[in-house]
Amino acid sequence: MFGRSLLFIPLLLSIGFVSRAQFGGNPPSVKWNQVNIPAARIIFPKGMDSVGLNVAYIISRMNGAVRPTISTKQRQISILLQNQTLASNGYVQLAPFKSEFYLTPTQNSFALGSLPFYQQLAIHEFRHVQQNNAFDVGLSRVLHILFGESGQELGNTAAIPDWFYEGDAVYNETLVSNQGRGRLPWFFNGFRGIWEAGKDYSWMKLRNGSFVDYVPDWYPLGYMLTAYGREKYGSSFWRDVTHDAAAYKTLFYPFQGALKKHAGISFKQFRSEALDHFKKEIVGDNKTGGPGFKSNQHFIADVEYPAIVDDSTILYMKSTYRNRPAFVINRNGLEKRIAVRDISLDKYFDYAKGKIIYSSYQPDVRWSNQEYNDLKVVNISTGEERKITHHTRYFSPAFSNDGSRVVAVAVAANGRYQLHILDAINGKVVQQVNNPENVFFTYPKFYGQDKIVSAIRYTNGKMSIALVDIATGKISELTKPDIAPVGFTHIYKDTVYFTATAGKNDRLDALSIPDKKLFLLQNDTLLNAIGNYQPTISDNKLAWVSFTAYGYQLHTTKHSQLKMLPVANGFTGSLQDYGITNLKSDSSADLLAKVQPQPLPITKYSKLHNFFNFHSLIPDFSDPNYTLSLEGENVLNTFRSSIYGTYNRNEGYKEVGYNATYGGLFPYITGGADAVYDRRSFFRGENIYYNEYQVHGGLAVPLNLGSAGHSTNLTIGSNIVYDKTSFQEAFRSRFRDASYTYLSNYLSFSNSIQQAVQNIYPHFAQNISLSFKKGIIDATSFQFLATGNFYFPGFWANHNLVIGAAHQLNSQNSVINYANNFPFSRGYTVYNLHQMDKIAANYHFPIVYPDAGFGNLIYLLRLRGNIFYDYTRAQDYYTNGTVYNGDFRSTGAELFFDTKLFNELPFTIGLRYVRLLDQDLGSRGNNRFEVVVPVSIF
């Protein structure tokens, strides 16, 4: 059973919906053009006209053909094409309604396919646009009217599972093209792995994942369910189901109720039939479990990209759920970690002459949509690492045989692809290989001194293994171009070893370069493996990896145990439909091939277009502040603004205001105005009340200083604030109204190493915040606040010691005090005193990983604990001028439940017991029990 109930919508309000756009991500030098069609406004950097037009052609041709299978509704969306990012991705969001395509293709054609990436984004992501338009009905429409686009997002998220969104989009990409992930074996490897291992995971575990076992994500799960539904019940089936679900025609479990109505069977029976169909298609009765694995074996590790050093030594990347990805050397079965790998977009590396080379991800310091892949070289003997390029965009680097040169795929922001030959010592470009046809290279390798062997993608989506002349750029095909992916090339003598998709599995092939003779590599392990990837070969043995339910596992075999079966007619890959006949019989089948250019005007896109773009009314509980705000953001992600009302629980004040930030220049420009009623201040032993009116403006500089294995961010800013204070009637005889101006300066710094799956927090991280507010006109009051949290490893891999510290100093006996954001000792009434200092110690640790849930409502992934001690030392002054010193110590324990709600939404809730070791001025007793809940809405 699956679905959600309106009864639980209040609980859903605690889940944060975060925009995936990078605010202020593009420098002001980027100029934007647009193509307008009824379904979409495609916005792209100047110079990317051909891509923008082609996206428009695809959407125009596809929209009318496939939209009836989900809805007839249409609302134009803005699609922003980003050409300076490196991650291969895209998204559609509702609040605000927009989409972004990140245009850089991935090297791994087995994972996403070999279609030109902008084509795949257009046919996949635009299906999400059609979905969002379709689901603006019934109760979801009411929420849209009440709360704007975030209201619809809440209604849709509560009614329509994420597996449907992605499964339906993958089905669309598979239907309208001759490829798509629904035809790629890699896409199904996860389910094939757990099925062949005899893993009978519950529906809730399949939906929610695990911290201890490998569980495939919702993309293949969703595809199998949506494809089966279309196959059995027709092309209008999901249109009817999702319409009724989004409208909440069944108030409790709307999706399952709608499916039962239109399928005539329960959702439990439906999903069982769908998964059984694909299980039969993919694995049949083959349940080997893999050699040496116990039935209750959890995830072990991913071992990837092996490189043979000698007969007894092999290198590889190793990733576990407890530790960060690292380069590992294995000598005679004994592992030794060489170095932790930097943050990277993939795990590929190459090896030669005692050196490893790989691409390390590097963000731009200021512009978040500018990304780089710099090349790094690691000495396997010492672990020493050095960077040989700076602010480059390189993928899949590989050494020459003597280790003196490097070939890498260079992906330019303008969409041009080249092979660069670099000096392996200093990273200087020796030669740029000409590429007039602009084919896309993947996994290039040197062949001799003057040629490169690479898997290449043509603009029609077909692939081949090809020989490239370094001097001229001439491409000679070694295999016939085919829509089936090829890749993971490795050269040994005059033979190229590679992976090729053939039917329902990815196999290993060998190709003799001089005579183009092709061989299928075969033995028992290769026959039974789930995919065969990343081959490497030496004089005596072959090594490669295959997928299992316990991670990618390494295989080695001697040449004598390996058969090389001649393939008479050369490589002809094939893609399977896995029993989904509608992929060929539907009128929209392979529609992409029918897309034709059409006359469409290109015009300039103004950066001021729909500048305010108010889209949502957002409630936000960030204790002690409870806020309702009208939020706006423009399509280019350069301007955000908010009209809001807030209630502060600490002081009991009410606030209304407007804030805005412009992020299109190097410093953010901020400004706004607000009015605060019933402010409270503690003065000479009593509370006084007043109202405040403020106007403010300032600058902020956000910097991304991340490098190597660290994510590091620094923001420095300053605001000038004009404040007018009006005391309430009871205090007018003692205090006169005043106006003053002060500076509010701040600095926030965060630094963190990578975090493994099971790590509660990073082993080393710092989070520091400084704030200094000082009157400069008609006021001398000030406030300084410094807070910091410092994360360290505990006694075991998934334990953390977290030390917190804070210091706040306010003006002595000042009538006007600034807002109190000091993190007071847990359990005590919060005070705003002259000087406060705090130290806190926390020890976090996992307790158990239950992987269990109830009623498709809540699923418990992990139960973890924290033992803490807080000590706050405070000082203030009585009316008579004497000094007050107070200690506020507390200790206790917290129990956190890391869960998912409704099989989809991450949710953590905690229980806290606090023992006060000193007297609380609020006199509430020394034992406190508290519930720790999420604090943001939407």
Backbone angles phi, psi at 164, to 5 degrees: -70, -45
| CA distance linking residue 247 with residue 503, whole number of Å | 41
Block means of pLDDT (10 residues each) for the chain, 938 residues, are 34 39 91 97 97 97 95 95 96 96 97 96 98 97 96 95 98 97 97 94 97 97 98 97 97 96 97 97 71 83 97 96 97 95 96 97 95 97 96 98 97 96 97 96 97 97 97 96 96 96 95 95 93 96 96 94 86 86 94 94 96 94 87 96 92 93 96 91 76 94 89 96 86 81 95 95 96 86 94 96 96 69 91 92 98 95 98 85 89 97 93 95 82 58
Backbone CA torsion sign across 793, 794, 795, 798? negative
Q: Give me the DSSP letters along 157-189.
A: HHHS-HHHHHHHHHHHHHHHSS--GGG-HHHHH
CA-CA distances (angstroms) from residue 875 to 65, 308, 361, 831, 837? 72, 66, 48, 11, 9
> CB atoms < 10 A from the CB of 412, how many?
11
pTM: 0.93
| CA distance linking residue 567 with residue 486, whole number of Å | 16
Backbone angles phi, psi at 479, to 5 degrees: -130, 155
Which residues 6+ apart lie within 8 Å of 648 measured at CB?
624, 625, 626, 654, 655, 819
Q: What is the pLDDT of residue 814?
A: 61
Q: Which residues pair with 906 in a beta bridge?
A: 900
Residues 138, 142, 148: CA angle, nearest 5 degrees: 130
Joined tokens for residue 454:
């690479």
For residue 541, give the nearest of 521, 519, 565 by alpha carbon.
521
Strands 40-45 and 77-82: parallel
User: What type of residue sits at position 906?
Assistant: P
Phi-psi region of 159 (alpha: psi -120 to 50; beta: other; left: phi over 0): alpha
Residues of the chain with CATH 1.10.390: 6-10+31-290
Q: What is the pLDDT of residues 680-730, one digit of tens each?
A: 776 777 788 888 899 999 999 999 998 878 899 999 999 999 988 888 877
Joined tokens for residue 411:
């992906």
| CA distance linking residue 174 with residue 189, whole number of Å | 17
Per the CB < 8 A criterion, the answer to whether 595 and 59 are in contact is no
Q: What is the pLDDT of residue 8?
A: 34
Per the CB < 8 A criterion, the answer to whether 336 and 329 are in contact is yes
Domain 6-10+31-290 classification at class level: mainly alpha
Strands (E) in 475-567, as ranges, are 475-477, 486-492, 495-502, 505-512, 518-522, 530-537, 541-547, 553-558, 563-566
Per the CB < 8 A criterion, the answer to whether 677 and 701 are in contact is no
Q: Is the peptide bond before 846 cis (omega within 30 degrees of 0)?
A: no
Q: Which residues pair with 632 in a beta bridge?
A: 614, 641
